[in-house]
Structure 1
Amino acid sequence: MTVDGEIRILICTNAAGMGVNFFGVHNIIHFNLPRLIDTFVQQLGRAGRDGEFSNELILCRNHKSHLKKVENDLIRMVKDDIINDTESDSSEEVMNRYVSDSEIQLINQKLMSYKYTLTSACSGFIVDSNEVHGLTDEVVTNIVANCITIFTCDDVMGKFPIWSFQTAVDICNIICDVLGDMDMYNLLIFE
Structure 2
Amino acid sequence: MGINIHQVHNVVHYGIPRELETFVQQMGRGGRDGKPSHELVLFKAHKGYLKHVEPELVRIVKDNSVCRRNILCNAFQTKHYELTPLHACCDVCEKKCKCQLDTCPESHVAMKDDDEGGSSGDEMERNVSVEERRLLTQKLESLQFTLSDRSSGGLLNSELVHGFTKELVKDMVSKCHVLFTAEDIMQKFPIWSFCIAQEICKIILDVFGDETMYNLVDSDSSTSEN
Q: TM-score range by the shorter chain?
A: 0.5 to 0.7
Which of 116, 132, 150 aligns to 1:103? It is 132
- Name the residue aligned to 1:19: 3
- Counterpart amino acid of 1:140? V
Pick closer, same or farther for the CA change 1:152–1:61 going to 2, 3 Å. Answer: same
Deviation at 1:39, TM superposition (A): 2.1
Pick closer, same or farther for the CA change 1:98–1:105 going to 2, 3 Å. Answer: same
Deviation at 1:78, TM superposition (A): 6.8
Which of 3, 15, 18 aligns to 1:32? It is 15
Deviation at 1:184, TM superposition (A): 3.1
Deviation digits for residues 99-141 of structure 1 (CA, Å, limit 9, x no counterpart):
2222211111110100000000111122211121111111101
- Name the residue aligned to 2:211: 182
Aligned residues: 156
Note if contact 2:15-2:41 (Cα within 8 Å) is conserved in structure 1. yes
- Name the residue aligned to 1:92: 120
Distance in 1 between residues matched to 2:162 and 2:41, nearest whole Å: 12
Pick closer, same or farther for the CA change 1:60–1:41 going to 2, 3 Å. Answer: closer
Deviation at 1:88, TM superposition (A): 2.4
Note if contact 1:98-1:148 (Cα within 8 Å) is conserved in structure 2. yes
1:72 aligns with 2:68: yes
TM-score, length-scaled by structure 2: 0.55
Q: Which has the larger radius of gyration?
A: 2
Secondary structure at 2:120 match in 1: coil
Distance in 2 between residues matched to 1:107 and 1:164, nearest whole Å: 20
Identical aligned pairs, as a percentage?
Answer: 34
- Name the residue aligned to 1:14: none
Which of 123, 130, 141 aligns to 1:112? It is 141
- Name the residue aligned to 1:126: 155
Distance in 1 between residues matched to 2:198 and 2:41, nearest whole Å: 22
Distance in 1 between residues matched to 2:165 and 2:4, nearest whole Å: 35
- Name the residue aligned to 1:81: 111
- Counterpart amino acid of 1:135? F
Deviation digits for residues 5-27 of structure 1 (CA, Å, limit 9, x no counterpart):
xxxxxxxxxxxx32388xxxxxx
- Counterpart amino acid of 1:80? A
Which of 50, 61, 77 aligns to 2:43? It is 61
Secondary structure at 1:89 match in 2: coil
Pick closer, same or farther for the CA change 1:132–1:45 going to 2, 3 Å. Answer: farther
Pick closer, same or farther for the CA change 1:43–1:144 going to 2, 3 Å. Answer: same
Note if contact 1:32-1:60 (Cα within 8 Å) is conserved in structure 2. yes
Note if contact 2:16-2:43 (Cα within 8 Å) is conserved in structure 1. no
TM-score, length-scaled by structure 1: 0.64
Deviation at 1:180, TM superposition (A): 0.7
